[in-house]
Amino acid sequence: MKTIKNLDIKRKKVIIRVDYNVPIKDGKVIDNNRIVSSLETINYCINENAKIILMTHLGKVKTEEDKNKNTLLPVKEELEKLLNKSIFFSHELKGKDLEDKINNLQEQDILLLENTRHMDYPEKLESNKDVELSKYWASLGDVFILDAFGSAHRAHASTYGISEYLPHAIGFLIEKEIKELDNIKDKKKTIILGGAKVSDKIGVIKNLINRTEKILIGGAMCGTFLKSLGYEIGKTYVENEKIDEVKELINTGKIILPIDAITENGTKLIENITKDETIFDIGPATLSRFKNALNKTELILMNGTMGMWEESKYSKGTEELFNYLSEIDAKVIVCGGDTGSASKFYNFKPYYLSTGGGASLEYLEGKSLPALEIMED
């Protein structure tokens, strides 16, 4: 796979697909890890006197209101601080105004384009890898660098489509991600999974379970597992169509589930949850159970938090788990933006922080990531 050093980018217009899908609150970036992780590639391009065009998505855009909400202007401000350099911004993703901005770029200039998913409304042109959009975006540059590992499992116009029409290579961030994940791919590990949907993780669980010591399930996704065992889990999110698959996974003996939870009515044993309650966090007994399972574990992979950690009354499970992981002698790999944000918030320093969530898990699964696959051509 070609890396950025294998391409001649001197004084060329370089399109870099970065991953700036970062949490923003009150118009400010509250976790800049993914932006910081992109700086090595950007600075390399600056040193090569390239004209740099940055593209990224932010959240999902399904309505006109989403366009206003999911703007990259706060990211522009954060990037300027980190680079100590003014950068240009294009509100347009297509048309004369954008083309003029690009034609006026001088060497070492940087232009950040607005959220690529603005092209998903009213038609899903970005997410459906629209051919004309891919060709148009490719026409804006001379070479394409993919450095968005967190989006490498998406075959979108900006991650995959541009590559079909320009010389392309991976950036330093993706090179580092692949190296680190390859190191642990075939090693036995314990996995901690959270999040809302079983459907997002079930393929990973199935494909990694034979190379896994144990899999600890927290977050709202535990609802589907617990319901498959006949428990009343109230208003907790459930994917009923996954019940049978989940039962098979439990039968492997490697799945460890919560035995108590924090609901809107406080701490409840799982068997005592009523139909009007919701699981928002793991309880203290579950935390003890998880600690015992993690004791003497050499390698831990974590994707997802144990509950709604942004709310202080439902944050204890996630916070205490990170505290425990800090105390034990294990290599902890944290995967994903939300998990990474939580680890940073609780001052947990993992052995490795991957910028990918779903992409990291799919890569470890052995799945081919479309945006990386085309890079191998």
List the domains of the chain with CATH numbers.
4-173 (3.40.50.1260), 180-364 (3.40.50.1260)
pLDDT of 145 over the 80 cut: yes
Mean pLDDT of 55-72: 95
What pLDDT is stored for residue 20 in this prediction? 97
- The active-site residue, picked from 135, 197, 291, 344, is 197
Give SS3 for 30: coil
Q: Taking all residues of the chain, what is their mean pLDDT, rounded to a whole number?
A: 95
Catalytic residue among 307, 336, 337, 356: 337
Task: Supply 137's token pair.
Answer: 């975006």
**In the predicted model, what is the mean pLDDT of residues 309-323?**
96
> What integer is the mean pLDDT of 315-325?
97
Phi, psi values for residue 302, rounded to 5°:
-120, 125
Render pLDDT for 171-224 as a digit per residue (tens, 0 to 9): 999 999 999 999 988 888 999 999 888 888 888 888 888 889 999 999 999 999
Structure tokens at 247: 């039962």
Is 34 designated active site?
Answer: yes
- What integer pLDDT is reported at residue 334 of this predicted model? 96
Using alpha carbons only, what angle is made at residue 108 by residues 58 and 90, rounded to the nearest 5 degrees? 35
* pLDDT tier at 141, thresholds 50, 70, 90: very high
* Alpha carbon 236 to its chain's center: 24
Pair type for strands 110-113 and 51-55: parallel
Please report which confidence band the pLDDT of residue 358 belongs to, taking 50, 70 and 90 as the band edges.
confident
- Point out the catalytic residue in the list 13, 34, 242, 316: 34
Of 321, 288, 289, 291, residue with least CA distance to 304 = 321
Mean pLDDT of 270-291: 97
pLDDT of 377 above 80: no
Which whole number is the average pLDDT over 235-248?
A: 95
Query: Could you tell me the pTM of the whole model?
Result: 0.92
Which residue spans within the chain are E strands per DSSP? 13-17, 24-25, 28-29, 51-55, 88-90, 110-113, 143-146, 168-170, 189-193, 212-217, 255-256, 260-263, 266-269, 281-282, 299-303, 331-335, 352-354
Residues 293-310, mean pLDDT to the nearest whole number: 94
Give the mean model confidence (pLDDT) for residues 39-65: 97
Is 197 a catalytic site residue? yes
